[in-house]
Structure 1
Amino acid sequence: MNQMDAARSGKYTEEMEIVAKSENVDIEFIREGVAKGTIVIPKNKLRDRANICGIGKGLDIKVNALFGTSSDREQMPMEARKLKIAEEAGCHSFMDLSTGGDIDGMRKQSLSLATVAMGGVPIYQAGVEAIEKKGNLIAMTSDDIFETIEKQAADGLDFMAIHCALNFDIIHTLQRTGRVTDVVSRGGSFLTGWMLQNEKENPLYAEFDRLLKIMKAYDVVLSIGDAIRPGATADSLDEAQIKGLMVAGELTKRALEQGVQVMIEGPGHVPLNHIRNTIELQKKLCHNVPYYILGFLATDIAPGYDNITGAIGGAYAGLYGADFLCYLTPAEHLGLPNEEDVRTGVISTRIAAEAVNIARKREHVLKRQFNISRARVENDVQGQIDNAVYPDKYKNSLENINQQSDIQDEAMQVAAKYFMIG
């Protein structure tokens, strides 16, 4: 029995108990949310781990990190360090986006090291292996895709981004209306090329029931990937995006009917004046399931600082109902992130999430806000450290301030000696 089946049967699972305790809410609230689909608990049946979280209505905003190998950089030890850094910085989950090197080995390494939820994008591996084994992506078969999905589920992934809300109707709409950036989703690009060359419908859409059987068997949360997301603010809320969201809503209904936990991935580039409408459309069309957003990037013109644009957009999105923020690092649009980029991305996004939790009046968050403010008034250094989201940063800054203060005092003493000051 998976989480949703248990919830609908009126039963409490160990995972529900853990989430209720960590969120400081009644377990019945969690059970009802899981039963309705407004809360998901990413926890593969086959995987044991230390940290279990809930995502969705009435809970704290969660933060996701990204990493993985590529054909340009196959350094698994570096990815292991990134994982440790992301967890130490406070991410609640991460996704393995590997597209090169030993993809199976990378996934198994991460699963062995991670204490948080782990997700993946199976179409990446299916596409890469089709190129390696068959010579090109177009030779990939439906069976190749579903075998990869089941293999990754059997390995223990807790959630998967599956680009099932893409069909020929959406592609024809995009061809008719045009865009600045066309298809920017990597998974969406793989499938669009495959569909157009083979003149066949997207297997993930056409064989959706086959997908649901795998997700339910392992209790993997289905994250309906945003294959048609806008890659520029100019493309936000265009006809293709809206049509893709409507298809996602249809598939969400089918997933919920089958007892599969589901959430929706949202677009990347969204100007501030579109964020509220984007969130409200998703929630209405997709039956109020959790919304997992990639950003949002509030502006296109800040390469090198997209951790900031993402934090701005993410805070607004959370205010209007987003539940899960995927981090952006300073390397977004520039290249692959290094360890420090990962740390910066998680920190920036966690701060945005914290701001949303305040606006949502999460009691434990408000208590910490009050405590640190009171500690400042009382010049209680330890109280400020204890309540800071990143206490090490505070302590390091404090040491620097004290050093500067000591230097200034010494300078004043020298000046007083020679110029009789004071």
Structure 2
Amino acid sequence: MSIVNDAKNGKITEEMKTVAASEGVDPEFVRRGIAAGRIVIPTSPYRDVKLCGIGEGLRTKVNASIGTSSDIVDVDMEIEKAKAAEREGADTLMELSTGGDFLDIRKKVVDSISLSVGSVPLYQAFIEATRKHGSIVHMTEDDLFKATEDQAKLGTNFMAIHTGINQVTLDRLKAHGRYGGLCSRGGAFMSTWMLYNEKENPLYSQFDYLVELLKEHEVVLSMGNGMRAGAVHDATDRAQIQELVINAELADKAHDQGLQVIVEGPGHVPIDMIETNVKLMKAMTNNKPFYMLGPLVTDVAPGRDHIVTAIGASLSSSVGCDFLCYVTPAEHLALPNVEDVVTGVQTSKIAAHVGDMVRLGKRDQDLAMSRARAGLKWEDMYEHALDPEYARKIRDSRAPADEESCTMCGDFCALKIVNQSYNLAK
């Protein structure tokens, strides 16, 4: 019995109770959300995980992505990055290695943390085909499903699987063209394989088999966004929308069969198109949990793309996006290091909080901070800060002569002056 079927049958499971308690909502609210496909809880029969609810009416979640590349294979660093992401408050982790021993790396990463871990099994299948046969085009359909099952057995909780790339999608892509090319590695792998072999995408043509495989291992299906825009000028184009149409239909089909489903969204989106994209995604997928990759709202800030993403992510969350994939400062430039991961998580956590102030109407923490500031209560300010240690470190590094104020204003602190004259407290 899957958690979806339990929910449809009116059963409130322990997972639902745990998520409800952490979110401050009624367990029945979580059950109804799962039954309707609006909420998912990644779990696994192979490992205990820190349970995390993703979806409508819940706190916006943040994913951190790590993984080796063909240039840098340092397993110890990936484990350190995974631990840093969990320590900084990431809600989930995606392990996306493309270099080294895939299963060994993923097992070590999974064993090092308690977060739900996601993957893209398609990477393993295509890269192993290249190692064995010299090209990605020689991957077999069996290779693809075997990689999926192997990774599921390691305790992978959710998988990005590119179900929406089919011949119609590719026709739209070729007919319309792209300013920024095809930035999705999964999209590039699968479309090249399809064109060379003159075959349909097996993740689409054998979708029922895929669903049964994922259900057997209790893996959440995250419907990959292989046609996402890699440039703001390509946002919301025909190929992206065609893929969304297919993924929306397949998402309903998977949920009807008892599988938990997330739908992934576009990557580079100008700020005036974000609300349109989120609402379109939600409307077309019957309000399935929406996983936004970024979004990046401009293409001209390499080295600071975590800031670019925070702008887009805040707005995305505020209008209904449920799940944010962080972006690090190294995006478009290099494989992230531990410091990049920490910065990426911290920045996206701020964006998620900003979005939830609107999405959930949760502003109590901000109100508490405002009152603490007005009263110059520094310990209270640290308590209400998203990163108390960092806030304390900055103030202590430039300690004021008067402990009640700070070195920004010194003797001429506006709050202190007013507090000595009259009381504005509400």
The residue aligned with 1:224 is 223
Alignment of 1:172-321 (within 5 A): 172-321=171-320
> Which position in structure 2 is the counterpart of 1:368?
365
The one-character-per-residue Cα deviations of 1:45-69 (angstroms, maximum 9, x if unpaired) are: 22212x2110000000000001011
CA distance in 2, matches of 1:173, 1:368: 46
Superposition CA RMSD, Å: 1.5
Q: Deviations over 1:239-290 (max 9, x none)?
A: 1111111111111111111111001111100001111111111111111101
C-alpha separation in 1, matches of 2:251 and 2:281: 11
Q: Which amino acid aligns with 2:3?
A: Q
Matched, 1:324 2:323: yes
Question: In structure 2, what is the Cα distance between the partners aligned to 1:368 and 1:115?
Answer: 27
State the AA in 2 paired with 1:15.
E
Q: Structure 2: how far apart are the matches of 1:403 and 1:329?
A: 33
Per the alignment, in what secondary structure is the counterpart of residue 230 of structure 1?
A: coil
Cα distance between partner residues in 1 of 2:161 and 2:213: 12
| In structure 1, distance between residues paired with 2:98 and 2:207 | 24
- Sort the Cα spacing of 1:221 and 1:404 in 2 relative to 1 into closer, same or farther, 3 A: farther
Match of 2:389 among 389, 392, 405: 392
Q: CA deviation at 1:403?
A: 6.1
- The Cα of 1:309 is off from its aligned counterpart by 0.6
* Paired residue secondary structure (1:304): coil
Q: How does 1:60-99 map to 2 (within 5 A)?
A: 60-99=59-98
In structure 2, what is the Cα distance between the partners aligned to 1:276 and 1:70?
34
Aligned partner letter, 1:312: I
After superposition, the C-alpha distances for 1:11-33 in whole angstroms (9 at most, x for unaligned) are 11111111000000000000000
Equivalent residues of 2:180, 2:231 under 8 A apart: yes
Aligned-pair CA distance for 1:135: 2.2
Give me the identity figure in percent. Answer: 45
Q: TM-score under structure 1 normalisation?
A: 0.94
User: Is the Cα contact below 8 Å between 2:320 and 2:359 reproduced in 1?
Assistant: no
Counterpart of 1:164 in structure 2 is: 163
SS of alignment partner, residue 98 of structure 2: coil
Are the aligned partners of 2:329 and 2:340 in contact in 1 as well (CA < 8 Å)?
yes
- Is the 1:160–1:221 Cα contact (8 Å) retained in structure 2? yes
Residue of structure 1 equivalent to 2:421: none
Alignment partner, residue 5 of structure 2: 5
Partner of 2:100: 101
Q: Equivalent residue for 1:381?
A: 378
Aligned mates of 2:360, 2:285 — CA distance in 1? 25
Tell me, in whole angstroms, the C-alpha distance in 2 between the residues paired with 1:248 and 1:175: 19
**2:105 is paired with a residue of what secondary structure?**
helix
Whole-Å separation in 1 of the counterparts to 2:401 and 2:247: 56
- Which segments of 5 or more consecutive residues in structure 2 lack a partner in the other structure? 412-426
CA distance in structure 1 between the aligned counterparts of 2:86 and 2:402, rounded to whole angstroms: 34
Between the aligned partners of 1:405 and 1:376, the Cα distance in structure 2 is 15
Deviation at 1:176, TM superposition (A): 1.0
For residues 243 and 250 of structure 2, the distance between their equivalents in structure 1, rounded to whole angstroms, comes to 11
| SS of equivalent residue, structure 2 residue 129 | helix
2:57 corresponding residue in structure 1: 58
Q: Which residue pairs with 2:33 in the alignment?
A: 33
* 2: CA distance, partners of 1:293 / 1:306: 15
On the 8 A contact 2:90/2:345 being kept in 1, the answer is yes
Alpha-carbon deviations, 1:67-126, whole Å to 9, x = none? Answer: 011221110111111111111111000100101112111100111111111000000011
Which residue is 1:15 aligned to?
15
1:385: how far off? 1.2
CA offsets 1:280-322 (integer angstroms, 9 cap, x no match)? 1111111110100110101111111100110000111111110
Q: Is 1:252–1:287's contact at 8 Å kept on the other side of the alignment?
A: no
Give the structure 2 partner of residue 415 of structure 1: none
* 8 Å Cα contact 2:319/2:359 also seen in 1: no
| 1:168 Cα deviation after fit | 0.8
Partner of 1:416 in structure 2? none
Q: Distance in 2 between matches of 1:380 and 1:328?
A: 34
CA distance in 2, matches of 1:104, 1:239: 36
Once residues 378 and 164 of structure 2 are traced to their aligned partners in structure 1, the CA distance between those partners, rounded to angstroms, is: 51
- Is the CA contact (8 Å cut-off) linking 2:69 and 2:335 kept in structure 1? no
Tell me which stretches of 4 or more aligned residues in structure 1 moved more than 2 Å. 403-408
Alignment length (residue pairs): 406
Q: CA deviation at 1:178?
A: 1.0
Name 2:422's counterpart in structure 1: none
Distance 2:136 2:304 in 1: 34
- Following superposition, the deviation at residue 191 of structure 1 comes to 0.4
Query: Closer, same or farther in 2 for the Cα pair 1:244/1:21, shift >3 Å?
Result: same
1:192 is paired with a residue of what secondary structure?
Answer: helix
What displacement does 1:404 show? 7.6
- 1:370-398 deviation line (CA, Å, top 9, x unaligned): 22211112221111111111011111012
